[in-house]
Amino acid sequence: MSMYRSLNLVMLGPPGSGKGTQAKFLSERYRIPHVSTGDMLREEVRNRTTLGLKAKEIMDQGGLVSDEIVSAMILKRLDQEDCARGVILDGYPRTVEQAHVLDGILAELGRALERVILVDVPDEEIVRRLGGRRSCPKCGKVYHLIYSPPADGVHCDVCGIELVQRDDDKEEVIRQRLIQYHEKTQPLVELYEQRGLLVEIDGSQDMEAVTAAIVDAIGASADQ
């Protein structure tokens, strides 16, 4: 980390590819905040805010919340003190429009993206991953019933509370989220590739191997 004045990363990839899981590891390793628009929106839903109620309807159908809403959230979040040394963006940007807004926000802050990490996983594996995902309603820790199960198979290891399944992890909603990804988010792969920022990681490896590949790519970028 010391070789960077600030480290600004984007995690890109289909739903369930492991972006959130990896972002949490990276956040600890580089000591920069993990900023997930999905988590921020779910927090609004939990707090039953007007924005949350509007967003829930869209999220439960696998659609995308409006660019204006998520970009306003990100603008506010990136301006906070703890993001000064960098940030790991997870789930944002998700459309070409959002990518342009992000360019503007970063330019205003006098910063730029160092790397865009594409965690890629084939669609068939996505359905298996998301079907087994469970999370703690209290601390948000994410598990997988087969790949990273809680000790007793049912409760959060940290809080002891029964784990829950996300409302949008039903098979028909997952399929819709995949359609949205291919249609609206995949164009960003090319956009960032053209800018020379993209690193493509095989997300179908086990979690440790994925982390190692990402850390390697971030480290290597410092030498360029």
Q: Which residues belong to the active site? A: 19, 94, 133, 166, 177
Question: Do the bridges between strand 198-202 and strand 142-144 make them parallel or antiparallel, or are there none, so unpaired?
Answer: unpaired
On the CB side of 202, how many CA atoms lie within 13 Å of its CA?
4
Looking at 2-10, 26-34, 137-145, 214-222, which segment touches ligand AP5 (CB under 6 A)? 137-145
Q: From CA 103, how far away is CA 162, in angstroms rounded?
A: 41
The reply on whether position 8 binds ligand AP5 by CB under 6 A is: no
Question: Do the bridges between strand 115-120 and strand 86-90 make them parallel or antiparallel, or are there none, so unpaired?
Answer: unpaired
Q: From CA 94, how far away is CA 184, in angstroms rounded?
A: 7
Looking at 33-41, 78-86, 100-108, 109-117, which segment touches ligand AP5 (CB under 6 A)? 33-41
The reply on whether position 133 binds ligand AP5 by CB under 6 A is: yes
Contact letters for ligand AP5, residues 53-92 (x by CB under 6 A): -----xx--xxxx----x--------------------xx
Q: From CA 107, how far away is CA 131, in angstroms rounded?
A: 39
| Least Å from the CB of residue 17 to ligand AP5 | 4
Other Cβ atoms closer than 10 A to 135: 19
Point out which residues bind ligand AP5 (CB under 6 A): 13, 15-21, 37-38, 41, 58-59, 62-65, 70, 91-92, 94, 98, 129, 132-133, 142-144, 147-148, 168, 177, 206-207, 210
